[in-house]
Amino acid sequence: MDFVEPMIKVLLYYIFTNVPQPLEAVKEHTYICSELGLRGRILINKIGMNGTVAGEEGAILEYRRHMDAHPLWQGIDFKESVATFMPFPKMKIKYRKEIIATGMPDSCDLNNCANHVDRDTFHQWLTEGRDIVLFDLRNDYEYAVGRFKNAIRPPMKYFRDTVDCIEYYTQWKNKTVVMYCTGGIRCEPGSSLFRAAGFEQKNTYQLLGGIVKYAEKYGNEGFFEGACYVFDDRLVVPVNTSNTRVIVGRCSHCNEPTEQFQNCANKYCNLHFLGCDDCVKEYKNTCSLPCQKIIQDNQKSIRPHLRCALYNK
């Protein structure tokens, strides 16, 4: 009998709710995830939880049952995907001051966020060609490998820098704006920054469930181009799985299409960049000629796990 690899399912989720004893919630969650053999990353604090977990199909089903029955976690909108391998090395469950890094937590008023627009209405707006402006509230490298058609390129490197770039976005203050991110959580505090900057409630929206929820229904026929970046060992997952799929990511060296991410071999740089197979080999896993020269002149500057592979030493 052939051995069949168990299906690995991945859940992405968040919830904003009052958590009276967050440290106890961390302990409780650590226990249940250990019992089910789950791996992933979960952050908990007094205002909620932000998590992504992976495990065998039966374990994920049992986890969802546990969450749906728990008085604190009922009503979570889980986004589910499939992985061909376990995408996390271990389980990390921690208490954090912020469950999503905003750069300025005291400026985020979760009672003054943008309106939610569901994926069906959003898709209809795009199909009709409605005059809307799309703000991508992710990191720049996430945008580089995939985004909604005509979305504004983020002027910041990281989402946490959004607070410093609000003035740039005010040129669209009088437009109908829809913000999006991977699963929706960054748009909650992020959109509150735009509301505080004078974006009107009636014209300011956030995509409910983010790219992942949209892709569940409209992946092959929708308006998302490229792949969706994820924060696990998969790095990118396809949104459109049909033969009409396009690759929008470009190699940092030769500008050829690619969806492969690398971390620069120069440990003092460590830039997360897109690189095709040929250029990764030619530039020895570095993001630029200066970084390549640095590791050639001083092999101690190479990230340790790459040192042997690059120079056989």
Side by side, the strands of the sheet bearing 176-180 are 115-117, 204-207, 176-180, 132-136
* φ, ψ (nearest 5 deg) of residue 120: -70, -45
Name the catalytic one among 108, 181, 251, 287: 181
Cα–Cα distance between 104 and 114 in angstroms, integer?
18
Active site residue 181: yes
Is 200 in contact with 191 (CB distance < 8 Å)? Answer: no
* Among 229, 311, 313, residue whose Cα is nearest residue 265: 311
Q: Which residues contact 78 (CB under 8 A, 6 or more apart)?
A: 11, 12, 13, 64, 67
Q: What's the half-sphere exposure (Cβ side, CA atoms, 13 Å) at 211?
A: 29
The total number of residues shown for the chain amounts to 313
| Strand boundaries in 137-285, DSSP class E | 146-148, 176-180, 204-207, 224-229, 236-238, 261-263, 272-274
Bridge partners, 82 (sequence order): 9
The two three-digit tokens of residue 12, written as one number? 């992405």
Cα–Cα distance between 309 and 295 in angstroms, integer?
13
Residues labelled as active-site residues? 181
